[in-house]
């Protein structure tokens, strides 16, 4: 949700709830995983892959969205 809601550069902002953002979250988890290369190979992904992620949910709870995206609720850990 945070990544989609706060894009880099000229990328468009996507307002997405948790279930809508899960596809992007999985791609980020794979990218930052210690065994990234093995995971990408299992998924059939390489540096030239193009992935379509569909957000199936928008901002269904404005208060919760603000808490997560702007106030840091549920911080990511490594």
Domain count, the chain: 1
For residue 60, give the nearest of 16, 26, 9, 24 by alpha carbon: 16
In a domain, 76, yes or no: no
In a domain, 7, yes or no: yes
- Model-level pTM? 0.73
In a domain, 16, yes or no: yes
**How many CA atoms lie within 13 Å of 40's alpha carbon, on the beta-carbon side?**
18
In a domain, 75, yes or no: no
pLDDT of residue 27: 92
Task: Evaluate whether 37 touches 78 at the Cβ level (below 8 Å).
Answer: no
Please give the share of the chain, as a percent, with pLDDT higher than 70.
97
Does the pLDDT at position 78 exceed 80?
no
What integer best gives the mean pLDDT of the chain? 89
More confident residue, 36 or 57: 36
């Amino acid at each position: 949700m945070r990544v989609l809601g706060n894009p880099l550069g000229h990328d468009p902002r996507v307002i997405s709830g948790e279930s809508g953002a899960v596809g992007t979250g999985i791609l980020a988890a794979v990218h930052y995983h210690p065994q990234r290369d093995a995971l990408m190979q299992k998924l059939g992904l390489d540096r030239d892959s193009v992935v379509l992620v569909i957000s199936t949910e928008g901002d269904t709870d404005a208060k919760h969205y603000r808490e997560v995206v702007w106030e840091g609720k549920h911080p990511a850990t490594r």
